[in-house]
């Protein structure tokens, strides 16, 4: 199956205008912390010994700072969420965040990361969700020093936004790679989803115990429809077995949100339902190419070939490489995650309403 990170094909229904609803004035939350995998990573893997990195051209061809480690041509989901909530600057990666930078938030995302620690080990180094939480603990200690007291820091952190985009690698770089992992021989898809949810629940309680209260969880998309997954199956259409397994996990996320909100005092967890957000006609966004990567890809990794020339009509492509979406798709997805279009997009509310609590 080669190199497969986390991917969703995002399309947005009824998005007739494609402008960003930017907030004027102060940000709607004082700080924003992002956890996740390659969908969120903005440079944390750059100096790690791993295949899973994107700090080279043609990645970042449409990003102001060029190739920063984002797995796309431009901005990614945390970038757009930060802009939509009124932040002046992008949230810095943990790897390079220094001094006062951390007050506005930190991005801990890491390509290849999973809920399970062993996920993606065959790619090399990566920062699992557990390790990201440990890094957040270090950030909290630094913020406490900057605030002068743990009490002041705790009050501040309770007002921040936290997003978690993780879980795809636990399927693509674990369960569906039997040559490297035993999970598919140990668990049925139903059992595996339950094991993941139990661990994920404990991890989210750790995040809560670090002071997080406004936490948005992103559901997984149709991983069986990623070009790299389709290619590896030898077919030309979506791989139903992958999509079916992922759906079992997604079906457990809404009950998880209910459980956490009822168990944890003051917790405000929400669930972004990717299958609803990606519903509708993608051609309304101007997308015409759905399974062809915009860049030339290395068939063994699914990533862009170093220094290759990507397509010029990038806004017409759903995928930048064989795994990750284009900025166009990320933008459409982020707009709808922040300001939902359908009641089924977000539960019990969207990111905008969560931020305003």
Residues designated catalytic: 38, 321, 324
Burial profile 292-326: b = 16 or more Cβ within 10 angstroms, e = fewer: ebbbebbeebbbbbeeeebbeebbbbbbbbbbbbb
Strands, sheet with 214-218, edge to edge from the N-terminal-most edge strand: 32-36, 161-165, 214-218, 268-272, 346-347
Strand blocks (E) in the chain:
32-36, 161-165, 214-218, 268-272, 346-347
Question: What distances in angstroms separate CA 30 from CA 27, 102, 155, 210, 339, one per listed residue?
Answer: 6, 11, 11, 16, 19
Q: Determine how many CB atoms are found less than 10 A away from the CB of residue 104.
A: 21
Kind and range of the H or E run holding 206: helix 189-209
The Cα 108–Cα 43 span in angstroms is 9
312 sits in the region (left: phi over 0; alpha: psi -120 to 50; else beta) called alpha
Name the residue with tokens 């990533």: 303
Name all contacts of 99-103 with Cβ < 8 Å and 24+ positions apart. 100/146, 102/139, 102/142, 102/143, 102/146, 103/30, 103/31, 103/143, 103/146
The pair of structure tokens assigned to 49 is: 């010994």
């Amino acid at each position: 199956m080669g190199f497969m990170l986390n991917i969703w094909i995002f399309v947005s229904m009824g998005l007739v205008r494609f402008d960003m609803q930017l907030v004027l004035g102060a940000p709607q939350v004082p700080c924003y912390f992002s956890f996740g995998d390659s969908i969120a990573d903005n440079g944390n893997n750059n100096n790690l010994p791993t295949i899973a990195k994107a700090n080279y051209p043609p990645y970042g061809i449409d990003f102001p700072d060029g190739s920063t480690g984002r797995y796309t041509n431009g901005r990614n989901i945390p970038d757009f969420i930060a802009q939509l909530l009124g932040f002046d600057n992008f949230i810095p990666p943990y790897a390079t965040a220094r001094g006062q930078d951390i007050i506005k938030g930190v991005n801990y995302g890491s390509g290849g990361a999973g809920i399970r620690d062993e996920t993606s080990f065959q790619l090399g180094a990566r920062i699992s969700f557990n390790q990201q939480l440990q890094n957040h603990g270090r950030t909290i200690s630094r913020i406490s020093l900057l605030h002068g007291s743990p009490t002041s820091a705790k009050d501040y952190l309770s007002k921040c936004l936290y997003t978690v985009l993780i879980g795809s690698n636990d399927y693509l770089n674990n369960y569906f790679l039997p040559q490297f992992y035993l999970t598919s021989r140990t668990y049925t898809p139903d059992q595996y989803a339950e094991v993941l949810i139990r661990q994920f629940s404990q991890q989210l309680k750790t995040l809560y115990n670090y002071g997080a209260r406004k936490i948005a969880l992103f559901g997984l998309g149709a991983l069986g429809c990623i070009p790299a997954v389709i290619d590896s199956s030898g077919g030309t259409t979506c791989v139903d077995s992958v999509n079916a397994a992922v759906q079992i996990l997604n079906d457990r996320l809404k009950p998880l949100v209910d459980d956490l909100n009822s168990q944890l005092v003051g917790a405000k967890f929400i669930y972004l339902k990717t299958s609803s957000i990606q519903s509708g006609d993608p051609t309304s966004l101007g997308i015409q190419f759905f399974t062809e990567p915009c860049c030339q890809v290395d068939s063994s990794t699914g990533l862009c070939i170093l220094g290759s020339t990507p397509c010029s009509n990038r806004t017409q492509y759903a995928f930048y490489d064989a795994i990750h979406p284009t900025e166009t798709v990320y933008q459409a997805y982020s707009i709808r995650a922040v300001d939902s279009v359908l009641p089924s997009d977000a539960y019990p509310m969207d990111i905008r309403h969560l931020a305003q609590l």
